[in-house]
Amino acid sequence: MINDADKRATILKVVSRLLGWIYTIAWSASFYPQPWLNWNRKSTLGLTIDFPLLNVLGFLSYSISTCSFMYSPTIRDQYAARHPLSPEPTVQINDVAFGVHAVVLVVLTYSQFFPGLWGFKVSSHQTASKPVLGIFWGWQQQDPQDWAWIDVLYTLGYVKLICTFVKYIPQVILNFNRKSTVGWSIEQILCDITGGVLSLMQLVIDASFQGDWSGIIGNSLKFGLSNISIAFDVIFIVQHFILYRGQDDLTIKSDDDPEQPLLDP
């Protein structure tokens, strides 16, 4: 006979898996509007190159980390040794699917900044900023020879967190300077904030089910990503729907020529 505790556990597992796949779909869908917008406009103007560039580094790090926590016996043993009360990592198969899919889409978006590949209009000012290049340089200087493998993965997780935080800042500044979100897809933001909220809910449910809130700390990557994404998504929603509402390509000037609009009338 199934008691109330077992019923509750079963319900929480079902809800967790449902939330997991819904947020995976929402976050995965968020990668399509921007390259599709670039394709329709035949231009990357209005989008900072820092955003897709940091996405490439960030999601490569994320995918390596989640795949390792999911499939590596060594990593899972080391995690269990550090978290005896909740020895199972809270990483799930939907996290792995999301990460691998994301790598493909962010590489596609980044490639659109190369006119030789797509023939899109790219501003001469759309070059990677020095702070972003510094992140790439700093990441390559890591010396993990004295670390346990799980420490290497935690470092990759923090690389992803840094990329997620930094990648939004140039876009917020660009929108502010241009007083417009033209060229920046709001659809991707709406999908992103949906995924962030549901991801956070799943993590809390998983930790509650295990009866050990250290599971959240043990998956600080997922916890941090959700909160950072939600915070910046709110900023972009305010910019698009309130501060800079009603702008279009013909009213926003080009970065290269202030006398010309982004698109010819």
Tell me how far apart the alpha carbons of residues 236 and 231 are, in angstroms, rounded to a whole number.
9
- pLDDT: which is higher, 95 or 182: 182
Q: Which domain holds residue 217?
A: 4-243
142 — pLDDT class (breaks 50, 70, 90): low
Q: Quick check: 204 pLDDT over 50?
A: yes
For residue range 56-90, list pLDDT tens digits in order.
999 999 899 999 999 998 888 888 888 777 788 87
Return all residues near 59 (Cβ < 8 A) that are at least 6 apart.
Answer: 99, 102, 103, 106, 160
Tell me how far apart the alpha carbons of residues 39 and 44 are, in angstroms, rounded to a whole number.
9
The answer to whether residue 66 is domain-embedded is: yes
Q: Quick check: 40 pLDDT over 90?
A: yes
The answer to whether residue 251 is domain-embedded is: no
Q: Is the dihedral of CA 164, 166, 167, 171 positive or negative?
A: positive
The answer to whether residue 171 is domain-embedded is: yes
Position 199 scores a pLDDT of 82
210 — pLDDT class (breaks 50, 70, 90): low
Q: Quick check: 30 pLDDT over 60?
A: yes
The answer to whether residue 263 is domain-embedded is: no
Tell me how far apart the alpha carbons of residues 250 and 182 are, in angstroms, rounded to a whole number.
10
Q: Is the dihedral of CA 182, 187, 188, 193 positive or negative?
A: positive
Tell me how far apart the alpha carbons of residues 142 and 179 are, in angstroms, rounded to a whole number.
39
Position 126 scores a pLDDT of 76
Instruction: Report helix, strand or coil for 211.
Output: coil
The answer to whether residue 82 is domain-embedded is: yes
The answer to whether residue 248 is domain-embedded is: no
The 3-state DSSP composition of the chain as helix, strand, coil percent (nearest 5) reads 70, 0, 30
Tell me how far apart the alpha carbons of residues 202 and 198 are, in angstroms, rounded to a whole number.
6
Region 39-60: mean pLDDT is 93
Q: Quick check: 258 pLDDT over 50?
A: no
1 — pLDDT class (breaks 50, 70, 90): low
The answer to whether residue 157 is domain-embedded is: yes
- pLDDT: which is higher, 186 or 152: 186
DSSP 242: I
In 10 A of CB 129, how many CB atoms?
A: 16
The answer to whether residue 254 is domain-embedded is: no
Instruction: Report helix, strand or coil for 185.
Output: coil
Region 229-241: mean pLDDT is 95
Tell me how far apart the alpha carbons of residues 261 and 239 are, in angstroms, rounded to a whole number.
20
Number of domains in the chain: 1
